[in-house]
Structure 1
Amino acid sequence: MAGFCHLHTHSYYSLLDGVPSPEELVQAARRLGMRALALTDHNALYGAVEFFRQAQAYGVKPVIGAEITLADQSQLVLLVKDETGYANLSKLITRGRLRGGHNRFSLQWADLKNATRGLVALSGGHKGLINRLLSQKKPEQAARQALFLSRLFDGEFYLELQSFTPQDALMNLRLRDLAAAHRIPLVASNDVHFVTQNDWQLRRILHAIDANTVIDKVQTAGSREQYFKSPAEMNALLRAFPEALANTEKIAAKCHFAFRLGRPIFPSVELPAGETGFSYLWKKSFEGAMKRYQPLTSRVTKRLEYELQTIHDLGFAEYFLIVKDIADFCRREHIPCVGRGSAADSLVAYVLEITQVDPIRHNLYFERFLNPERSDPPDIDLDICWKSRDRVLRYVYEKYGPERTAMICTFNTFQNRSAIRDVAKAFGIPEDEISKVTKYLPHRHIGQLQEALQTLPELRALRPNLDMYREILNIAHRISDFPRHLSIHPGGIIIAPDYITRHTPLEKAGKDIVISQYDMHSIEQLGLVKIDLLGVRSLSIVTDTLKLIKTTRPAAVGKIDPDLLLKKSAELSPLDLRAIPENDPEVTRFIRSGNTMGCFQLESPAMRGLLRKMQVDNVDDVITAVALIRPGASGSGMKEVYIKRRAGLEPVRYVHPLLEDVLKETYGVIIYQEQVLRVAHRVAGLSLGQADLLRRAMTKSRRKKEILKLRETFLRGAVANGLTQKQAETVWNFLAQFVGYGFNKAHSATYGTIAYQTAF
């Protein structure tokens, strides 16, 4: 039996056409003993990074590719051999997407010229131009096209043989004769769109949803034979063409392109003569520190040196300089801008005036943001006045060039409600009947809706169609989380060191905004610099209020100098607590009252109730309230325990005396992620970097083996630190109970201070 692997394969990233996820395809290849597998989605590489990672994890060789549509609607399959081939495929996809516009693709045959090095081309099978010409009984034209493509791809062109319709036997004989006459090799494929034959129905439903029609009218979903056939099945179908089968593995062996993941890719930045990125960052950091801290203490300088060395060792100096440049532009243009999230854990970010929360004052830990144990790039989010966000984006594009810059895509996926509605419409169910079912979705998981149909009086009229609804619900459950279409990430922008298409294909979203074909997860894996520039209305409100105070009611500022309140735009950000009293009695009294409608983060009914219960005394209490109101803290019961202990209605308890120093400020309750680091450091002797890896794994990992390994590491460290085995287990259980609910204190401090300012 000839060896075989699938080289023409679609995942659900062939939007509303392919059925399997990249992982399901790789699992099928592994199960059937295939050594390699290609992913060739329509005019896109959306799933390429995910597919590459899954294939490596399962021990299957990944071949990156795409099925490309030409202007005459014929298609070619292009497979990547090397980095040159990847850059060419990315360039071709980008050209077709940008020329075609939103949700369209326009690529001419002439576009292939000078863009074929490093690529292997397959003729496209049923959808290829050569098959079309042969079916039209134009063998001379088919031969000319085959020779043209063979020359264009320097001999790396193959005629595809497929066998999933009755007409394919004759077509394959014609292709064999054409190949023999012109010495063009053959290759076997199955144009896979689903893993098992039963999933053909699912493909038909996706086509119905795409065309906004019912299943019975779908004529575009191909054949039920386009499933992930085994090597034995493909050999049985194409036994007369052993060379075509064997060539699949020969082609895969030629394709040795591999993504280099986990390696940060930073753009170059303009530097003064004689400076490196690190030397310039060092200089600017200490200049900023002398402004922020007067006097400059040894505690500050020691931490600053530690952070700078870590940033240098990990190669992230240029990233900080890029973000500083954007923040400096905002200051020059009087655009409110403040760094948020874990970036506020960094003293370097604070002295560069990227963030506005003092990490020394708020006891924030740099390791929560960045540490030597992490290899992924840091993530600095900038909140910007929503009125001026487009100006900031224009500046970034002009500074770094449109050929190096793009917004990040995100995938809108089927959710429970939309999946049921769309599948029911494909079955021909009237809209009003669909609404009767979907209105119960907010209260019930999709798996419970069958029970709802049988038990709820309101749905009694639908029970005669119970079997059909059961099928609809099963299908909806299956396609939930399938990607449906691309959208724009709310703030993510990437900057490449060279042409961005060498790293990711691009396309146009709505309003002609150019976006990457990779989402934030793939971008992070590739190591490209990602900066989130988020428009926030509250920052505009703060600035507008300050302007109104100065121009209409200067007396209202009382003891505060109006010029200082307006921050002397060139010197201080409009979001800097140094310009207003940190714990003004009138402000805290106002916040304590709960009458905080219109105040950033403080206006929801739940928050106003929390402020009254807490009886806040200062800005630190506001910061705590911002963390406590989050669903994790509220849902876990931490909020109520904190309130009772704060009010003296419940004694403060610590599961071990070592935790008192760490949890004293929050009455023995873990509220902040930074506290998890401190507990692991204090109890188990882990470095803060190791402690952050522990926190991340406990928060995100669902693998039992990984959790058990972490548990053993923690327990071993705790026992070595003097705890008994039972005490160590008690602390671990306590930590595991709350780690998923803790909130990033740096983010809470940023939003808490802005909340305080809006209240002021």
Structure 2
Amino acid sequence: MTTPYAELHCLSNFTFLRGASHPEELVQQAADLGYQALALTDECSFAGVVCAHRAIKEENLSLKLIIGSEFRHASGLYIVLVTGRKAYAELSTLITQCRRQAEKGHYTFTPAQLTDLQHCLLLWQPAEQEILSEYAALIRHFHQRLWLLGERTLDEFDAHHYIDIARWADTLDLPVVAASNVHMHHPSRHSLQDCLTAIRMNQPVQQIKHRLYANAERHLRSLKKLSHLYPEHWLQESVSVANKCTFNLDEISYLYPTDSVPDGLCAREYLKTLVEKGQTIRFPEGTPAHIQQTIDKELRLIAQKEYEHYFVTLYDIVQFARSKNIMCQGRGSAANSVVCYCLFLTEVNPQEVQLLFERFISEERHEPPDIDIDFESQRREEVIQYIYQKYGRERAALAATVIRYRPRSALRDVAKALGVNTAEQDRIVARYAGRYHGHEWMDHVYPDSDQSPLTQRLRSLTQEILGFPRHLSQHVGGFVIAEGCLHELVPVENASMKERTVIQWDKDDLETLGLMKVDILGLGMMTAIRRSLNHLEMQISDIPREDPATYKMLQKADSVGVFQVESRAQMNMLPRLKPACYYDLVVQVSIVRPGPIHGDMVHPYLKRRNGHEAADYPLPELRPILERTHGVPLFQEQVIAFAMVAADFTASEADQLRRSMASWRKKGHMHRLQNRLRENMLKNGFSEAYIERIQRQLEGFGEYGFPESHAASFALLVYLTAWLKCHHPGVFLAALLNSQPMGFYSPAQLINDARHHRVMVYPVDVNHSHWDHEALPDGSVRLGFRLVKGMNQEAAVRVLAARPETGYKSISDCTQAAQLNRKEREALASSGAFGALSEHRYHARWQAAEPAAASYQPDLIENLSQATDWELAAPDEVDNLLEDYQSLGVTLGRHPMEVLREQGLLGNSVTAEGLKQLKHGDESYISGIVTCRQRPGTSAGVTFITLEDETGCSNIVVWLATAKRQLDTLIHAQLLQVYGKVEQDPESGITHMIAYRLLDLSGSLERLKVQSHDFH
């Protein structure tokens, strides 16, 4: 009979680039081997413990998880284990101290710090005999809480280490506990562990042989093998130590911050007061009875869950933003809440959409609510600083995001670790970038025809490392705020950004343990909306609802720059769906998503909407759920309600179904729930055909489906931006340009689109421009200095501060008064900003260069100026185009395609406007600058290309066979000539060309660099 055993020293891959197994793999293997317990002891980190905890619960494993951490020092190896809640807080605080004292990704540690631990256990592996006497105080401090660490790895030092540990145990009168220094769950990961070591050391494996482990013994070994390696009392001691560790992560007790509730008031009454106050504004004519019932129900559930402080905290943050005129809006499942609407956390009117509060908060679901709030991206920092100032860095930090290996980074790092030279690394990554095989990308990068040992190793290691955590980064805006010290709940470390701190858990970890996360997100479009409204001196409430002209514009797919509906896929859908009201926009936002497309929901919806097919409701109870979407479930809320009615799911079970949709392909959880859904629907009399259709639609949601509340929040922004584009295109253009980087289109494309809408755009001019682009009273736009490459805001401020009311009289007047350096002078001259002060660009560049030399030889420069000014030939039209694109990224001159067409370089290519005049089935060819390449996962290998010319944009469809034949041209061409057949949809009027031949004409553009939006 084997001796029971608990592994007390185990690293997961959250000890980045050391551990070679996921926490989930480790706990599963330990349970399969019959271990009593497993201590996850990642180096100065708790980053992987929640993953292990979650896996044990989800898989119902018979294994105790012990929380611990490893610390390395010149004096030896220290493993700290948590016994109870106090010990957990101590170790979390120690990790925080070590991490905060070092730069991101590192830590500093001294054994003296261990004396602050009053309740933890310590396993120690001294470095050498001589240092033992120096640590007498540490030994006394950890009296009966200290063990020597006996680890056997069967390498050349193993026997020596075994003898030393036994001798030290006698000398110090300390017990020895067996451990295995685990780095992987299975010995098959040994090669990957070598690879990770090479990546960590930034050297090829071949050059660090002396730093690699000699064998694969650092894995979870069988109890039988362990009994042959260790004395029985060492093994028994491992279980004895494990028995002292009783802490479970479920014991973490999180308290919401109470700061935002006024003294003398309880949170429940204060929240109710805020909601009632908001009701008088939201419903000035009185709250409808059914809305009041919903509010009362929500408040009761919020009180039952004790979430009042959460809502009050969010209310305080949003009120701060509004007090500073920072535009903000909540989205996601929170928009299902009328309470959130009355607190002004969300803007979705509950009378305009069907709300399902259970999607936000459920009585059966024991997790905190999750509210995402978008703020103007350019002013979000003010909100972040407010949170830090109010709660302090002891109580507030950002959630982490785990940066994992994805194909591109995995290919490069593994190739580098195996000694592949940089040029070949680039070629490997380029093969991935040029792939055309969806999930079969590995076959494209490493074809089966290449059976060389190196290629096979590259392939297998790349496959293994995919999904491995690489490092922790900060969440885009998820704040964790605690009532007490946050570092007693979770370790906190420095972020790469100055004055930022990040906890070691991500959003999934927080959700598992029930910690509150407040998402303070930045949305560039909100900045653009706020800038537009400020210029127009309007409020959102001033914008008329359901404006016919706005919807007419959208129905024509005239949506460049409009939030969420500006992609080519959305533009193709707009004329087919023909949105005519707000709810149509809710559907429009949602339907062009992988979920509805894979679930075959798009065509049935459109057929029913357009009256070509009748909606079916097998049960009368389903009509209220599905009627607004013509019997097709487009939203997650509908799935929840459908499962409750059609399959007798409880609200909790239906929500589990909704959750499983997001991960069913990854984890396979959905099949169990699908079977349950199918069985119950059969019992309730549904036909096999209907059940099969519903299940296919649910599988579609597994790819990506929207909650209706989220779509409703976004639809508000769609309408606002569409109205601005329709009625104030110049103002909207200036706001979009001033809010960059954001959105789908480059500044050049936005400007070209505005000019097609008869917006006059004036060039950058040192006598008229400001830093920002400016909308002028007549509806035109003056470009600002922010567009000039090489020009920063500080230099622009100097130009503006020194500029006389009557303007600069000469280039030297400007450059000297504004104290412009050589780079700034050249940037302005190249951009044409000195156009009014010089004959042409070359002349301006010469004059702008003079101040630099004049300080040394003024007489010579004066003579040179007089001698050469008249000799400088003016740039021709093509040169000006090149200069424009190189210095500004856009030209206000003729479109490059018009110039090329005039020079006869495009043959008889049809224009974008001319393409629309051709008939379905006509064969022709078209030329244009590539502005967008898209290959959605839903497109069965099809690539969609957008070409731009002087008349507008055209849509090109490239089928898989054509793409494979001309892959290099498809991927890399800047100027493309496409031969193909015209296809037209008679109902929507959408015209595109099916390509059968691609010709790269990029050489005609010479030095012109245009920006395309590729494979996003």
Task: Tell me, yes or no, whether TM beats 0.5.
Answer: yes
Q: Distance in 2 between matches of 1:360 and 1:689?
A: 25
> Is 2:537 aligned against 1:546?
no
Deviates most, 726-735 or 263-272? 726-735
Structure 2 distance, partners of 1:483, 1:542, is: 38
SS in structure 2 at match of 1:507: strand
Aligned-partner Cα distance in 2 for 1:687–1:237? 53
**Alignment pair present for 1:361 and 2:352:** yes
Residues 439 and 633 from structure 1, CA distance in 2 versus in 1: closer, same or farther, beyond 3 angstroms?
farther
- Judged with a 3 Å threshold, the aligned counterparts in structure 2 of structure 1 residues 482 and 580 are, in CA distance, closer, same or farther, namely same
SS at match of 1:7: strand
Distance 1:444 1:202, change over 3 A: same
1:601 deviates by: 1.2
Which is helix-richer, 1 or 2?
1
Check 1:690–1:121 CA distance in 2 against 1; reply closer, same or farther (3 A cut). Answer: closer
Structure 1 range deviating more: 520-529 or 269-278:
269-278
Match of 2:737 in 1: none
RMSD: 2.6
Q: Is the 8 A contact 1:25 1:195 kept in 2?
A: yes
The equivalent of 1:234 in structure 2 is: 226
Q: What residue ranges of structure 2 are gaps of 5+ in the alignment? A: 724-1016
Counterparts of 1:65 and 1:665, CA distance in 2:
53
**What is the deviation of 1:35?**
0.9
Partner of 2:337: 346
Correspondent of 1:438 among 418, 424, 429:
429
Equivalent in the alignment of 1:127: none
- The residue number in structure 1 matching 2:79 is 77
- State the match for 1:460 in structure 2: none
Counterparts in 2 of 1:464 and 1:264: CA distance versus 1, 3 Å: closer
| Paired residues for 1:18-29 under 5 Å | 18-29=19-30
Kept in 2, the 8 Å contact 1:373–1:693? The answer is: no
**Is the Cα–Cα contact under 8 Å of residues 587 and 759 in structure 1 kept in the other structure?**
yes
Question: 1:612 matched to which residue of 2?
Answer: 575
Q: For the residues of structure 2 that align with 1:448 and 1:272, how far apart are their CA atoms?
A: 58
Match of 1:470 among 430, 447, 456: 456
Q: Which amino acid aligns with 1:266?
A: Y
- Partner amino acid, structure 2, of 1:17: R
Q: Secondary structure of the equivalent of 1:58?
A: coil
AA matched with 1:409: A
- 1:336-356 Cα distance to aligned partner (Å, 9 max, x none): 110011101100000000001
Question: How many residues were matched structurally?
Answer: 711
In the superposition, the TM-score normalised over structure 1's length comes to: 0.88
Look up the SS of the partner of 1:511 in the other structure: coil
Hey, what's the Cα distance between the residues in 2 that align with 1:488 and 1:237?
43
Task: Tell which structure's C-alpha radius of gyration is larger.
Answer: 2
Deviation at 1:227, TM superposition (A): 2.4
SS in structure 1 at match of 2:53: helix
SS at match of 1:123: strand
Aligned pairs for 1:411-450 within 5 A: 411-441=402-432, 442-444=435-437, 449-450=442-443
Query: In the alignment, which of 295, 310, 324 is matched to residue 333 of structure 1?
Result: 324
Larger displacement relative to structure 2 (31-40 or 433-442):
433-442
1:506-542 alpha-carbon deviations (Å, 9 max, x no partner): 1112024210011111111121110111111100100
> In 2, Cα distance between the equivalents of 1:154 and 1:272?
48
Choose between structure 1 and 2 for higher RCO, CA contacts under 8 A separated by at least 6 residues. Answer: 1
Which of 169, 173, 179 is the aligned partner of 1:179?
A: 169
Specify the alignment match of 1:522 in structure 2: 509
SS of the aligned residue for 2:709 comes to: helix
Counting only pairs closer than 5 Å after superposition, residues 234-273 of structure 1 correspond to structure 2 as 234-239=226-231, 242-260=232-250, 265-273=255-263
2:544 aligned with 1:581, yes or no?
A: yes
The alpha carbon displacement at 1:499 in A equals 0.6
Aligned AA for 2:542? A
Of 437-446 and 632-641, deviating more is 437-446
Matches of 2:517 and 2:550, distance apart in 1? 37
Counting only pairs closer than 5 Å after superposition, residues 103-122 of structure 1 correspond to structure 2 as: 103-113=105-115, 115-122=116-123
Query: Is the contact made by 1:69 and 1:105 (CA closer than 8 Å) also made in structure 2?
Result: no
Verify the 8 A CA contact 1:263 1:376 in the aligned structure 2: no
1:185 and 1:714 map into 2 onto residues whose CA distance is 58
SS of 2:521's partner is strand
Code of the aligned partner of 2:189: D
Contact 2:295 2:338 in 1 (8 A): yes
Q: Structure 1 residue 149 and structure 2 residue 138: aligned?
A: yes
Q: State the 1:326 CA deviation.
A: 0.7
CA distance in 2, matches of 1:48, 1:451: 37
Equivalent residues in 2 for 1:92-103, closer than 5 Å: 92-103=94-105
Of residues 54, 60, 65 in structure 2, which corresponds to 1:62?
65
Residue 223 of structure 1: CA displacement? 3.5
Are 2:539 and 1:591 equivalent residues in the alignment?
Answer: no
Which residue, out of 715, 720, 740, partners 1:752?
A: 715
**Residue identity matched to 2:269:** S
**Residue in 2 aligned with 1:280?**
270
Task: Name the residue aligned to 1:558.
Answer: none
Distance in 2, matches of 1:247 and 1:291, equals 67
Instruction: Tell me the CA shift for residue 211 of structure 1.
Output: 1.9
1:664-743 to structure 2, matched below 5 A, reads 664-684=627-647, 691-701=654-664, 707-708=671-672, 711-712=675-676, 715-716=679-680, 719=683, 723=685, 729=691, 733=695, 736=698, 739-740=701-702, 742-743=705-706
Find the counterpart in structure 2 of residue 481 from structure 1.
Answer: 467
Q: Normalising by structure 2, what TM-score?
A: 0.66
Counterpart in the other structure of 1:382: 373
Cα-to-partner distance string for 1:463-490 (whole Å, 9 max, x where unaligned):
6663321221111101100101111111
Q: Is the 8 A contact 1:656 1:731 kept in 2?
A: no
Partner of 2:966: none
Q: Alignment identity in percent?
A: 29
- Name the residue aligned to 1:562: none
Distance 2:301 2:572 in 1: 42
- Given that 2:661 and 2:699 are in contact with CA atoms closer than 8 Å, whether structure 1 keeps it comes out as no
Residue in structure 2 matched with residue 641 of structure 1 by the alignment: 604
Offset of residue 750 of structure 1: 0.7
Query: What letter is aligned with 1:195?
Result: H
- Opposite residue 545 of structure 1, the aligned amino acid is S
Query: Is the 1:149–1:157 contact (alpha carbons within 8 Å) kept by the matching residues of 2?
Result: no
Cα deviation, residue 395, structure 1: 0.8
Counterpart secondary structure, 2:277: helix
Q: How many angstroms does 1:728 deviate by?
A: 8.2
Q: Which moved more, 1:17-26 or 1:225-234?
A: 225-234
Name the structure 2 match of 1:405.
396
Alpha-carbon distance in 1 for matches of 2:41, 2:314: 36
The 8 Å contact of residues 373 and 690 in structure 1, kept in 2 or not, is answered as no
Task: Please give the secondary structure, in 1, of the residue aligned with 2:42.
Answer: strand
The 3-state SS of whatever aligns with 1:529 is coil
Does the CA-based 8 Å contact 2:271-2:308 persist in structure 1?
A: yes
Q: How big is each residue's C-alpha offset from its partner over 1:350-400, in whole Å with a ceiling of 9 and x where there is no partner?
A: 000000111232122212211212111110000000111111011111112
